[in-house]
Amino acid sequence: MDDLDGTAPGAGSEELLEVRDLRVWFDTPRGLVRAVDGIDLEVRPGRTLGVVGESGSGKSVLSRAIMKILAPSARVLPGSEIRLNGVDLATVSPKTNKHLWGVDLSMVFQDPMTSLTPVLTIGKQLTETLRYHLDLDRAAAKAEAIRLLTLVGIPEPAKRFDQYPHNLSGGMRQRVTIALAISCSPKLLIADEPTTALDVTVQHQILNLLQELQQKANMGMILITHDLGVVAGRADDIAVMYAGRVVEKAPTRQLFSHMRHPYTRALIDAIPRLSHPSHTHLASIPGRPPMIIDPPPGCSFAARCPSAQARCLEETPALEITPDSPAHSAACFFPLGTPHGESARETNLAAGVTAAGTAIQAKDVI
């Protein structure tokens, strides 16, 4: 974890991953889907970037664009840049550069049953990867595969080596996918909702495992999730996504202590707390995420935002640095904790409705 100013002990000063103005659109019969619409991100060695947002916010499309595993209907727009260690990923192909994908860059997927081949043994899948990327012979690959299974906490690794994915529990299958992902010591690991299908105890174990592996290898990591609670104590920096855009980005502690975007506030309010009495109604965000098919002008969160004003319906706010820190930015005309933001919410509360026509009560304004 980082300090409040965003610096991390031992972190490299140069960016490992740089994403600039990334736009990924899909052509559909209903129109143009702007799944990722102008994202800037960076990750340094040894640091974790948490990418958070509701389903449909563009998190997984972002990760697949970095990995170059987008669907054929996807279109990465000109001007989009993705650089890993200074290498422009748009200029290289996974087929011609086997030492980039899988070696320098790797990914842990949400569902291990879709990333593991059901008809091949665990050992076969691991040794194939090791022999292809590291040019190991059969015996050396088997020894390394068993070492990796031991490293990720698989009991009786020599026995599991000869078993199939369906012979393992969900937690153990996810550990195998992590073993596959780290088998070639990647510089950057993308973990896309790696614990969604697991129970709470196993979630904790998997996240601890990823953290330990990262610290040992000084590996950069992108942790993608819909739950701010998951990244609260595990990410150095957080980027909050909504409708294909990053709406707030900051060092983790600063984001939680001085949040500026109303959507970030709503996500945090939705986290259950042990201090709440029994049968307390969980907070929710009113309305639905917007359609990202040919979206209209204006802020995409305006229809659900207690601070929305007329300007929010006409202009799209850009991500701008906040007064708190040069490392903290938010895309909001009326940010929380500012005179403009307080005035906007007081105006809407007095009227009982926002400029977008959404009813608002005192409980909606914190």
Write the pLDDT tens digit of every residue in 46-56: 999 999 998 88
Tally the C-alpha atoms within 13 A of residue 98's C-alpha that lie toward its C-beta.
Answer: 7
2 pLDDT above the threshold of 50: no
**Is 360 part of any domain?**
yes
Q: According to the model, what pLDDT value does residue 362 have? A: 63
Going by C-alpha positions, the residue among 272, 275, 283 that lies closest to residue 366 is 283
Those residues with Cβ within 8 angstroms of residue 306's Cβ, 6 or more apart along the chain or in another chain: 262, 345, 348, 349, 354, 358, 360, 364, 365
DSSP 353: B
List the domain range (segments joined by +) for residue 315: 293-364
What digits encode the pLDDT tens for the residues 6-37? 444 344 448 899 999 999 999 888 888 999 99
Measured distance CA(250)–CA(28) in Å, rounded? 34
**Is 315 part of any domain?**
yes
Measured distance CA(235)–CA(280) in Å, rounded? 29
Measured distance CA(123)–CA(318) in Å, rounded? 49
Q: What is the dihedral of CA 109, 113, 116, 119, to 10 degrees?
A: -170
Over range 171-184, report the average pLDDT: 90
Report how far apart the first and last C-alpha atoms of the chain are (Å, whole number): 28
**Local confidence band at 363 (pLDDT 50, 70, 90 cut-offs):** low
Q: According to the model, what pLDDT value does residue 321 have? A: 92
**Is 316 part of any domain?**
yes
Residue 280 buriedness (CB in 10 A; 0-12 / 13-18 / 19+):
exposed
C-alpha pair distances (Å), 354 with each of 112, 140, 188, 311, 343: 44, 65, 43, 12, 12
Q: Report the DSSP pairing between strands 320-322 and 325-330.
A: antiparallel
Measured distance CA(316)–CA(201) in Å, rounded? 41
Q: How many domains does the chain have?
A: 1
Measured distance CA(169)–CA(327) in Å, rounded? 41
For residue 150, count other CB atoms closer than 10 A to its CB.
15
Over range 273-290, report the average pLDDT: 76
Q: Do 218 and 236 meet the contact criterion of CB atoms below 8 Å apart?
A: no
284 pLDDT above the threshold of 60: yes
For residue 361, count other CB atoms closer than 10 A to its CB.
9
Those residues with Cβ within 8 angstroms of residue 130's Cβ, 6 or more apart along the chain or in another chain: 136, 141, 144, 145, 183, 184
324 pLDDT above the threshold of 80: no
**Is 130 part of any domain?**
no
Q: What secondary structure does DSSP assign to 143-194, as a single string?
A: HHHHHHHHHTT-SSHHHHTTS-GGGS-HHHHHHHHHHHHHTT--SEEEEEST
Helix (H, G, I), strand (E, B) or coil at 131: helix
356 pLDDT above the threshold of 60: yes
**Local confidence band at 316 (pLDDT 50, 70, 90 cut-offs):** very high
**Is 342 part of any domain?**
yes
**Is 19 part of any domain?**
no
Measured distance CA(318)–CA(37) in Å, rounded? 12
Share of the chain above pLDDT 90, in %: 55
Measured distance CA(344)–CA(338) in Å, rounded? 10
**Is 314 part of any domain?**
yes
For residue 268, count other CB atoms closer than 10 A to its CB.
17
Over range 122-134, report the average pLDDT: 93
Cross-strand bridge partners of residue 22: 39
For residue 134, the surrounding DSSP H or E stretch is helix 122-134
**Local confidence band at 232 (pLDDT 50, 70, 90 cut-offs):** confident
**Is 312 part of any domain?**
yes
